[in-house]
Each structure stands twice: as C-alpha cells, then as structure tokens.
C-alpha cells in the first residue's frame, strides 16, 4: 500500500451523531467492529530530544513516528507501526509482534529484532539503539467505517485517555485519565478522520460534510504528551 490522503476534523457530539446516522444509512461498517466500535491502546515512542513531538508541534511536513498497538485488550494481536507523513499524504507500515516480544522490548532486551526478517522490525531495532524509548500511552474508542471504492476509511475517535505510566501499564488495565485540555470549554475532543487513496467518492464526501468544521492537525500523541 502506498501513500494515502489523510484529513482530520475536530467535531462535537452533535456532529458525531449526524455523521454516524449518514454512514449507517449507507450500510457502511467495519468487520473488525461488529459492535460498532473498538478500543485502541497505543504506546508511542520518541527519542531523548522528543523529535517526533517537536516536529509535530513545529508543523514539519515530513516526519515519522513509531508505536506499538493492540485492540480491545486482546494482546494476541499486536502490531508495531511506523506512520510516515509527507505533508497531506501518509503511509503506515506494520509488523506483527507477540506479547512476549513486546515485554522484552519494554524491558530493554530488544537485540532479537536485528535477526528478524521483516525490515520494519530491523529498522525499529536501529532506532532503539539510537535512543528511541516509550513516550506516551494513548487509549481511545474508535467507530470505523470502510468503503471499497477509493479504499476509503472513515473513523470517529473519542474518549482519548492517557496514563502516568507507560511501558509498565501497557498490558494492564491501570488507571488512565482524560487527555483533553481541562482549561478548554465544551465537550471532550472528538476526531473525525478520513483516509483514501487517489480519490474520495462523492457519496462519502457528502456523508462527512459538515460545512464549518475546519481541517485540523490534531495529534493524539501530542495531546497525551501534555502529561509528561
């Protein structure tokens, strides 16, 4: 899979209900979310200079970040992901890891990665050697929709939470706290994301159209780094 278009919008609860009703009326859904949503837990990595965070905050157009992710508390399906941004385009590469391997990595015993066949795992080994380390725990609820023409994926993410511990709590329920800004007035952050390949079909464009909601560069990782 090559680079894809990616757009984000901050929306409110009323917007969410409107978009959900439109997408459900089209009969769209995601086979990975039979109940309509799933939980995502990610552990983001950064180096000692907070390069990924600073590049995001500074609006650098070309940047990369690594994360380890699993869903619905199911540690039998874990992925290392590298997300690359090239201005309005994004590319995500992933490689499978098991729970034991992740625990080794988080304990600092990651030498096994350099013997792996997947180039992404070998690259991750090199980045760990140069100081990459766990930087933020991020939890949220995701409501996904897919549409085959254009390889479109629409997601609505909400209830973003983070924890004071990082690698120590990755496989534990541990206490997490809302990651929204306590000084901000109004509802918690809800993020609408639209991803597609070469074109966005009109049927989807109309379904997610809200008129006055500007595009945003919102980052769950950056939001959760406010806590350390």
What is the domain partition of the chain in residue ranges?
A: 4-227
Looking at 3.30.420.340, 3.30.230.10, 3.30.70.1350, 3.20.100.30, the CATH number of the domain 4-227 comes to 3.20.100.30
**Single pTM value for the model:** 0.93
Task: Tell me the three-class secondary structure of the chain, residue by residue.
Answer: CCCEEEEEEEECHHHHHHHHHHHHHCCCECCCCCCCCEEEEEEEEECCCCHHHHHHHCCCCEEEEEEEEEECCEEEEEEEEEEEEECCEEEEEEEEECHHHHHHHHCCCCHHHHHCCCHHHHHHHHHHHCCCEEEEEEEEEEEEEEECCCCEEEEEEEEEEECCCCHHHCCCCCCCEECCCCCCCCCCCEEEEEEECCCCCHHHHHHCCCCCCCEECCCHHHHHHHHC
Per-residue tens of pLDDT for the chain, all 228 residues: 689 999 999 999 999 999 999 999 999 989 889 999 999 999 999 999 999 999 999 999 999 999 999 999 999 999 999 999 998 899 999 999 999 999 999 999 999 999 999 999 999 999 999 999 999 999 999 999 999 999 999 999 999 999 867 777 899 877 788 887 655 544 568 999 999 999 999 999 999 998 777 778 889 999 888 766
Q: Would you state the pLDDT for residue 215?
A: 79
């Amino acid at each position: 899979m090559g680079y894809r278009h990616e757009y984000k919008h901050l929306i409110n609860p009323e917007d969410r209900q409107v978009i959900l009703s439109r997408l459900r009326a089209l009969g769209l859904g995601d086979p990975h979310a039979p109940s309509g949503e799933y939980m995502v837990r990610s552990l983001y990595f950064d180096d000692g200079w907070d390069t990924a965070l600073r590049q995001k905050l500074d609006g650098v157009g070309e940047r990369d970040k690594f994360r380890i992710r699993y869903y619905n508390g199911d540690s039998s399906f874990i992925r290392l992901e590298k997300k690359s941004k090239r201005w309005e385009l994004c590319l995500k590469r992933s490689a499978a890891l098991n729970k034991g391997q992740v625990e080794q990595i988080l304990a600092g015993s990651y030498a096994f990665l350099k013997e792996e066949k997947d180039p992404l795992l070998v690259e991750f080994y090199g980045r760990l050697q140069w100081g990459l380390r766990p930087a933020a725990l991020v939890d949220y609820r995701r409501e996904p929709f897919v549409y085959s023409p254009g390889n479109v994926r629409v997601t609505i993410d909400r209830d973003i939470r983070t924890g004071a511990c990082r690698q120590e709590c990755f496989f534990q329920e541990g206490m997490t706290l809302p990651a929204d800004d306590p000084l901000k007035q109004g509802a918690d952050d809800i993020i609408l994301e639209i991803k597609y390949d070469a074109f966005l079909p009109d049927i989807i464009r109309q379904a997610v159209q809200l008129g006055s909601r500007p595009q945003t560069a919102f980052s769950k990782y950056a939001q959760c780094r406010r806590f350390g």
